[in-house]
Amino acid sequence: MSIAGLDAWLQTPQGRYVMAWEKARIDATVADLFGYNAIQLGLPQFDLLAQNRIPLRQIAYPSGQADVICDLRQLPFSAHSVDLLVMPHVLEFHDDPHQILREIERVLIPEGEVLITGFNPISLWGLRRRLPNCPAGFPWNGQYLSVLRLKDWLQLLGFEVDRVSFGCYVPPCQHEHWLRRWHLIEGIGERWWGFAGGVYLVRAIKRVHSMRLILPNWKRQPAPRKALSIVSQKRGELHGR
């Protein structure tokens, strides 16, 4: 299922502003990640794996110009076969985000990484959705997930959140003129209220804890008899004294 209104929004000043920040952050993050298979789920309009060095990079999406056309709830990849997954704005615009996360956990290798972007409900962008004159289309019609909730979901599946980045502190203006005029607030926001950026990037690692074999007592090596006899001999000498 494609996201209604996404294509048109990406051509607006708002869309270009958000995607410029997300693409720059994702490019910087994936540049140093290695492996054999990398998958981008969603947003086929942008190649968010372009700066990655993994040899096999594919975009999966239910429609459009994707390398793999599939239902994101049933990924056509083998278990433990993907090293890196990039997922831009999928969970908040899908009716079954939990199943998508379960599929991500299934296909990622141990220590594999997932990058997730989303709109932050604790921001000026999240506040805009609550105003009475808020438009009904994208991106205001999504079910925004807070970073805390997303962390809880990931931890239940065995992921460890490694890093969270926030960006886009400028109010969600529709015209490029106002976006430029508010640009000075970016630095202020990053320094003083970093958690309130309009969008976020979460980097998480799939952890698989190893087992430690505890042997029963009868498997342990008994102490040498010679050592025991020496100890008993010394005790006898002490009693004789």
DSSP for 134-177 reads --SSTTTTS----HHHHHHHHHHTTEEEEEEEEE--S---SSHH
pLDDT of 85? 98
Mean pLDDT of 181-185: 71
Count of CB atoms within 10 A of residue 84's CB? 24
Sequence ranges of the domains in the chain: 6-240
Confidence band, pLDDT 50/70/90 cuts, at residue 229: very low
pLDDT of 194? 78
Mean pLDDT of 95-99: 95
Mean pLDDT of 149-164: 97
pLDDT of 234? 46
Q: What is the dihedral of CA 228, 229, 232, 238, to 10 degrees?
A: -130
Instruction: Reduce the DSSP state of residue 48 to 3 states and report it.
Output: coil
pLDDT at 138 over 70: yes
Mean pLDDT of 147-162: 97
Lowest mean pLDDT among 82-86, 90-94, 160-164, 191-195: 191-195
What is the end-to-end Cα distance of the chain in Å, rounded? Answer: 91
pLDDT of 6? 87
How much is the mean pLDDT over the chain? 86
pLDDT of 91? 96
pLDDT at 15 over 80: yes
pLDDT of 188? 73
Query: With a threshold of 0.85, does the pTM exceed it?
Result: no
pLDDT, tens digit, for every residue of 188-214? 767 777 789 999 999 999 998 765 656
CATH class of 6-240: alpha beta
pLDDT of 25? 97
